[in-house]
Structure 1
Amino acid sequence: MVKSGKAKKTGPLAQSPSHLMHRALQLALDIYAEEAGSDGPTQRQFAVMEAVAAREGLTQTDLVRATGIDRSTLADLVARMTTKGLLARERSTIDARAKAVRLSPEGLALLEAARPRVAAADKRIMALLPKNRREGFLEMLSDLAVTADAAPEAARAEAKLAKKAAKEARKAEKAARKGGDLPKKVAKLKKAKAPKAGLPKTEPAAAVEPETVD
């Protein structure tokens, strides 16, 4: 049974957001596991089923956006849930290359049974905080989730800008090299047209008439 503690720790880890968030996640998952029970879905399975129930016919790409689960983990998760008979996959009517996901009757039954248990877990987690801090806590978690959802798109946009900047830099470098070669070409051309030094010009010799003998 998970119990709340009031004693606050000190030291470097007490000032580390990543460490504290990891500890908080462990606590939340422990509470979830206690409430969901051994026969209930895992937290990620529940998230997938809720997302599919909210909008049937989602592709795996849609589920990545809806749940925040990374693509490879989600693909493995959907495959295992399909094998268990909780999900069914069929060709998407929107994209023929993709597979749409829907809940099976068994999956829907498991979801409906799990909902009150998950609600109880959420209630226990929120009860660990003072009432006047619960709303702000949820807002901060929501803001972090939005940032996490936007991160892949932001990374792609940043990579695109970096690629464009590198391309422009290569163009500028190439233009600079061409500009540097131009004076050399002009000098070479002038040198080719100039008369050779050290050879004085000579006038053509006058014709000498042969002497006549009287």
Structure 2
Amino acid sequence: MVKSGKSKRSGALAESPSHLMHRVLQLALDIYSEEAGADGPTQRQFAVMEAVSAKSGLTQTDLVRATGIDRSTLADLVARMTTKGLLEREKSAIDARAKAVKLSEAGTALLEAARPRVEAADRRILALLPKGKREGFIELLSDLANAADAAPDLAKAEVKAAKKSQKEARKAEKLARKADGTDKAAPGDPEKVRPVKKDKKPKKAKAPVVAVEPVS
């Protein structure tokens, strides 16, 4: 067991969350691979199968939320697992346009065989920490996972708020110009500028018609 205390590493990397998390992730994946074995599912495959088994009728969009795997990677993963016969597709009972994913018999058998191995991997990882820190470690990981789930929604909300603020600013500026009697768009203002009417060309005067008497 690793003794508790400050790390002996020094420098910027010792205080870099991204670097430390990368190292810990690699350690966790190595332990997982050792316990799962060559015939077991990958960590991502296990996550997909576990999510599908927990709730029936999940679409790929639901699986993105449940597993945290990005959409393009998940689509490729589900396609390969379907080809291998681990997953099956069916019409979604909620959205007729979407396809739901369910475990096949082979997928169910693989999941049940993998669960004790994954639990063993989790025990090995937690055993690297003192008992008093294990619960807090899981809570911190949960907090980070929840923050990751909320990040896309937060980004969308910020973009929407920024657009609304810009729209209100343009509206206020337009009202101010009207109040000043300078209702003209400023340079770079996206508001449509009224076209300037060109002066019409003066019509040419027609020459008077003179009647010519016939020569007798």
CA deviations over 1:149-170 (Å, ceiling 9, x no partner): 1111111111111111111111
- Matched with 1:140 is 140
- Matched with 2:177 is 177
Structure-2 separation of matches of 1:183 and 1:87: 64
Shift of 1:183: 9.4
Query: Aligned AA for 1:27?
Result: L
- Matched with 1:34 is 34
Structure-1 separation of matches of 2:182 and 2:136: 66
- Matched with 2:126 is 126
Query: Aligned AA for 2:140?
Result: M
C-alpha RMSD of the superposition: 1.9
Structure-2 separation of matches of 1:39 and 1:182: 76
TM-score w.r.t. structure 2 length? Answer: 0.80
Unmatched tracts of structure 2, length 5 or more: 185-216
Structure-2 separation of matches of 1:101 and 1:143: 28
Shift of 1:178: 2.3
Shift >2 Å, 4+ stretches: 3-8, 176-184
| Greater share of helix | 1
CA deviations over 1:99-129 (Å, ceiling 9, x no partner): 1010010101110010011001000000000
- Matched with 1:190 is none
CA 134–177 in structure 1, closer or farther in 2 if over 3 Å, else same: same
- Matched with 1:104 is 104
Structure-1 separation of matches of 2:139 and 2:17: 17
TM-score w.r.t. structure 1 length? Answer: 0.80
Shift of 1:181: 2.6
The sequence identity of aligned pairs, in percent, is 76
Contact 2:88/2:101, CA 8 A, preserved across alignment: yes
CA deviations over 1:159-188 (Å, ceiling 9, x no partner): 11111111111111222222233599xxxx
Structure-1 separation of matches of 2:136 and 2:23: 19
Query: Aligned AA for 1:87?
Result: L
- Matched with 1:201 is none
- Matched with 2:66 is 66
- Matched with 2:206 is none
Structure-2 separation of matches of 1:175 and 1:13: 54
- Matched with 1:210 is none
Structure-1 separation of matches of 2:166 and 2:98: 34
Secondary structure of residue in 2 paired with 1:39: coil
Structure-1 separation of matches of 2:24 and 2:3: 12
Query: Aligned AA for 1:104?
Result: S
Residue 90 of structure 2 is aligned to residue 90 of structure 1 = yes
User: 1:130-209, aligned counterparts within 5 Å?
Assistant: 130-181=130-181
For the pair shown, the structure with the greater C-alpha radius of gyration is: 1
- Tell which deviates more after alignment, 150-159 or 169-178: 169-178
Shift of 1:93: 1.2
